[in-house]
Amino acid sequence: MEKDEIREKIWRMMVEKKVALPPFPVHGRIPNFKGAREAAMKLRNLDEYRKAEVLLCNPDSPQIHVREMALKDGKILVVATPRLSRGFIEVRGQDVSPTIRGMIERGRPVKPGDHKIDIFVAGSVAVSVEGYRLGKGTGYSDVEFRMWREAGSIDDRTLRVTTVHDIQVVEFVPRDEWDVPVDLISTPTRIIWTNLSKRL
């Protein structure tokens, strides 16, 4: 299947099986899902998360729980503003809302190179057990990763993560040379270390 076919299939299945959550429609988005908080909490239990000081996270709805968790745990949170319209912002503090509005109001601008990134969190429409993911088709996540990597803020020790519903985990995702794979998939029910994980 081509990338767009997989996206359409996942968006449709999530609606049909009633696991999608607002905002609607899910088509064209990183889809929010039932169990997103549980998927974040599974990530929280990892030693790699406990040791991490700085997370670079996407701004989409299903990862709001990851952002909230990082702020409550006293970590530095770096977030890409939607479509990179305002670049990146750094957010700290338990009293900061993990919504885009809250983070923009309370955050401060940062640029690649300002922090060493311990965990890179990407939103996904679909992800394979091998470790390749599909976003909504705009490529921002890969661009953001590359920007921080080229600045020396991301290296081979940076843990690359996505949180998804189990429905979004598929056998195969076509890939292009610029696609950034993930090391770890966290779902509401399990942690999957991918075939491309540096742990293997």
Question: What is the DSSP code string of 88-133?
Answer: EEEE--TTS--SHHHHHHH-EEE-TTSS--SEEEE--SEEETTS-E
* pLDDT tens-digit series, residues 98-124: 988 889 899 999 999 999 999 999 999
Region 183-200: what's the mean pLDDT?
A: 87
Domain boundaries, the chain: 3-193
CATH class in words for 3-193: alpha beta
* pLDDT tens-digit series, residues 13-33: 999 999 999 999 999 999 999
Burial of 8 (0-12, 13-18, 19+ CB in 10 A): middle
Which pTM was predicted?
0.95
